[in-house]
Amino acid sequence: MDKFYRINLINSIAGYKSLNLLGTTSSDGITNLSIVSSAFHLGSNPPLLGIVLRPEREHNDTLSNIRDTLHYTLNNVQPEWLNQAHQTSASYPSGVSEFDQCGFTKEYVPAFKAPFVQQSSIRIGLEVRDIIGMEINGTTIIIGEVIHILTDSGVIGEDGFTDHEKAESIVVNGLDAYYLPKFKVRLPYAKPGINSSLKSQVHGV
């Protein structure tokens, strides 16, 4: 296949992915912000999330900062900030802060080194629990434990469910196609033997 055809195909074939701004800081206090679409749930007890970072380049401030400080943040992207979030994917020189270049405001909590994005309605602070180098393609998997969760009012329900429609969280397909998903339905916990007609009613069919 043509290189760019293959990139577009394999990046988009699995469907929508979550979209986050990954915030870090260097040991010298220089902040970094990059857009990522690889976050995944790993477990709830302890609360673990993973991300996949692209193969290491000559300078990779994000990965270096995570290794140095062991702290990083994941922040959702809302529609009014999409263009600025996309701009963080540009290859700025090492030591240049995308917070400053792209117009985002840094937010900190005590005793946590990485900056949150003030403009995000969901802001997650994580501490590194494992770093896994993938020999097959040179990517790096970062496993982090959730230490802080900051959200706008009403985003998390009484049962702990996070309402990403209310949070206006953008999702992405491929590398550059962005969507604003709409809520369809929440289904009950599945058990063997449940009547299929009940499922149809829950789906609204």
138-195 tens-digit pLDDT: 999 999 999 999 999 999 999 999 999 999 999 999 999 999 999 999 988 888 977 5
Q: What is the pLDDT of residues 107-123, one digit of tens each?
A: 999 999 999 999 999 99
Give CA separation, 149 vs 4, 121, 194, in Å. 37, 11, 36
Q: 52's torsion region: left (phi>0), alpha (psi -120 to 50) or beta? A: beta
Return the sign of the alpha-carbon dihedral for residues 167, 172, 175, 177: negative
Evaluate if residue 23 carries a pLDDT over 80: yes
- Average pLDDT over the chain reads 93
* pLDDT score recorded for residue 56: 65
Summarize pLDDT for 53-90 with one digit per residue, the tens: 988 666 789 999 999 999 999 999 999 999 999 999 99
According to DSSP, residue 187 is labeled P
| pLDDT (0 to 100) of residue 195 | 58
Does pLDDT of 18 surpass 60? yes
- For residue 200, pLDDT beyond 50: no
Count of residues for the chain? 205
Answering whether pTM is above 0.85, one says yes
Distance between CA atoms of residues 66 and 201, nearest Å: 47
Q: What letter represents residue 191's amino acid?
A: K
For the residues 37-41, what does the mean pLDDT come to? 97
| Residues forming a β-bridge with 126 | 72, 146
Residue 39 Cα to chain centre, angstroms:
5
